[in-house]
Structure 1
Amino acid sequence: MMNTEMSIKKQGNASGKFKLACQQIVAGGTAGFVEVSLMQPLDLIKTRFQIQSIHTEQYSSIGDCIKKIYQNEGILSFYKGILPPILADVPKRATKFFTFEQYKQLFSFGAPSPTALSFTLAGLASGVTEGFLINPFEVVKVRLQAENQVFSKQISAWSMAKVIVHENGFGLSGLNKGLTSTLFRHGIFNMIYFSFYHNIKGYMKPYQDKKLEFLRKFMIGLTGGSIASCINIPFDVAKSRIQGPQPTAGHIKYKTCLRTIHTVYVEEGVKALYKGLLPKMLRLGPGGAIMLLVNEHVLDWLQNNT
């Protein structure tokens, strides 16, 4: 009788863990879909700034970039390259939030509740995991965003992926080009983003008023996303340079992450490593806050209604 009760209890625990995992995946995927749908135009502007060097400069400011894209390519061009993020961000953000929860437990090392170090290590590990998943989509997205023709004349994301595979295969010269830069970008961002949000949220007293509590969480997420964007952007610039079109056809100038950062620094100065910072912060500051809040609210709703 006791063995039967223990067996039922284990099955119940396993079922509960599986249900929670599914809820975390759905909540994270929903957060990713909402964020990329709202913030894609800013990602396009960020990429345009990052791929231009001092020799190929087209845009002098965010306003100038918006004006030229609108006049020369049409309003729909602000959503160039959106299909890869849409296809990627649902599983990507699902992976981001789900693996963060699993790593958080792992790095708590048996403690009853996560520590500041747990949040930091879990964020780093979830970012690296996310980077492996997202990199092929990033390669396709950057190639699409780098093109200057009218949106209606641009080839599809699938066609671009086939072109990349045909030219260079699936490896580090093809569909996984710039992998190291992507791992650095996501690892550093998530480490700061999750660590800041969960640690600061724990130190600040919550409000009873729902609007004030929403604003409190939004501002913490906004600040965390903005700080993380400032710190990881040199790796983002390196990723865009490696994955985007090379300055000279037939010659690969930007090859590896740290070498690309060094080349940009030597040839263009330290400011070039922060190209696209403002649109990146405008996207990932509020975008990061949106993701955290959407994830929390959807997860709460699922746990209370499923």
Structure 2
Amino acid sequence: MSLNTADEVEYEALPSNAGLGVNMAAGALAGISEHAVMFPVDMIKTRMQVFATSPSAVYSGIGNAFTRISSTEGMRAMWRGVSSVILGAGPAHAVHFGTYEAVKELTGGNRMGNQWLSTSLAGAAATIASDALMNPFDVIKQRMQVHKSEFRSVWTCATTVYRNEGLNAFYVSYPTTLMMTVPFTAVQFTVYEQLKKLMNPTGEYSPVTHVIAGGLAGGVAAGVTTPLDVAKTLLQTKGSSQDPEIRRCRGIADACRIILRRDGLKGFARGLSPRVLTFMPSNALCWLSYEFFKALIRE
């Protein structure tokens, strides 16, 4: 696709209200691209956050986890659960970006100047809507990612969890997820929009801007919200745990008490490195893909 001819639409000159369908389609494609590429690092993050009962499931770092998992379980284990993410990420990201653009337009975020409040509100609204759709798929993904998981297919995992634990198992972490992702998304979108305007004030086509701004925004947001992500992982994987106390955990307050008692404050930083490492490139790719697909579909 050439962007140099006068007859074609400028990448950054696209109308911000290009249409709900365009934004949703671009968001779906961006979401699938983002999650699929960085899935192995996300898998390591999940393993590092889980309170393991077996020494073989305790990892000292990203390199150690990658080497041990790939050598003992094979490289295919690094991708276990990716199908659940792909199934959920497309629709969830379509809803996410569609809501984001609609709310930003509604609250005046596309006007000239620093509209950080509108951007934050749009990001928070987008998260509430998309997480309601994505949460069950995230539960299935993490159940498939844990050490010695019995599940090899999304359908088997979903039906087994539903039969043994009921519908509540898919949403027990939803309040915690919102507590984490609403500030995550507000920080991410705000940092991204501010950096984009700072780095590219003319609004000309600049994929480098989207990569750098998206990556930094993702890294900052991921670091800030890691403590809540540790609690979320505990809640979403408690049904696979052999630990009676963890299995009885009912919500974020119980999860935080368990983490604090067993691992102290440092327990809330479990998986920090792989989480930041996941979100920096994946967020960069997500924003680059989103802006690109939006331009491509619009044209």
Normalised to the residue count of structure 2, the TM-score between the two structures is 0.86
Q: Offset at 1:18?
A: 10
**Runs of 5+ consecutive residues of structure 1 not aligned to the other structure:** 1-15
Q: Offset at 1:259?
A: 3.1
Residue 163 of structure 2 corresponds to which residue in structure 1? 166
- Matching of residue 214 in structure 1 with residue 214 in structure 2: no
Residue 130 of structure 1 corresponds to which residue in structure 2? 130
Comparing 18-27 with 287-296, greater Cα deviation is found at: 18-27
For residues 116 and 266 of structure 2, the distance between their equivalents in structure 1, rounded to whole angstroms, comes to 32
Q: Offset at 1:207?
A: 7.4
Question: Where in structure 2 are the equivalents of 1:76-225 lying within 5 Å?
Answer: 76-108=76-108, 115-148=115-148, 154-171=151-168, 174-206=169-201, 213-225=206-218
Contact 1:128–1:184, Cα closer than 8 Å, also in 2? no
Deviation string, structure 1 residues 26-58 (Cα, Å, up to 9, x no partner): 100110111112111011000000113588562
Larger Rg: 1
Q: Offset at 1:20?
A: 1.4
Q: Identity of aligned pairs, percent?
A: 27
For residues 236 and 110 of structure 1, the distance between their equivalents in structure 2, rounded to whole angstroms, comes to 31
For residues 206 and 113 of structure 1, the distance between their equivalents in structure 2, rounded to whole angstroms, comes to 11
| Inter-CA distance 101–81: structure 2 relative to 1 (3 Å threshold) | same
**Runs of 5+ consecutive residues of structure 2 not aligned to the other structure:** 1-14
Deviation string, structure 1 residues 4-30 (Cα, Å, up to 9, x no partner): xxxxxxxxxxxx999811111110011
User: In the alignment, residue 268 of structure 1 is paired with which amino acid?
Assistant: D
Picking from 263, 267, 271, the partner of 2:266 is 271
Residue 60 of structure 1 corresponds to which residue in structure 2? 60
Contact 2:17–2:101, Cα closer than 8 Å, also in 1? no
Classify the secondary structure of the residue corresponding to 2:243. Answer: coil
Comparing 224-233 with 60-69, greater Cα deviation is found at: 60-69
Residue 281 of structure 2 corresponds to which residue in structure 1? 286
User: In the alignment, residue 30 of structure 1 is paired with which amino acid?
Assistant: L
Contact 1:226–1:281, Cα closer than 8 Å, also in 2? yes
Residue 8 of structure 1 corresponds to which residue in structure 2? none
Picking from 231, 238, 243, the partner of 1:238 is 231
Normalised to the residue count of structure 1, the TM-score between the two structures is 0.84
| Inter-CA distance 247–234: structure 2 relative to 1 (3 Å threshold) | farther
Residue 10 of structure 1 corresponds to which residue in structure 2? none
Classify the secondary structure of the residue corresponding to 1:155. Answer: coil
Paired residues, number: 282
Q: Relative contact order (C-alpha < 8 Å, sep 6+): which is higher?
A: 2
Comparing 47-56 with 80-89, greater Cα deviation is found at: 47-56
Tell me how large the CA RMSD over aligned residues is: 2.6
For residues 195 and 76 of structure 1, the distance between their equivalents in structure 2, rounded to whole angstroms, comes to 37
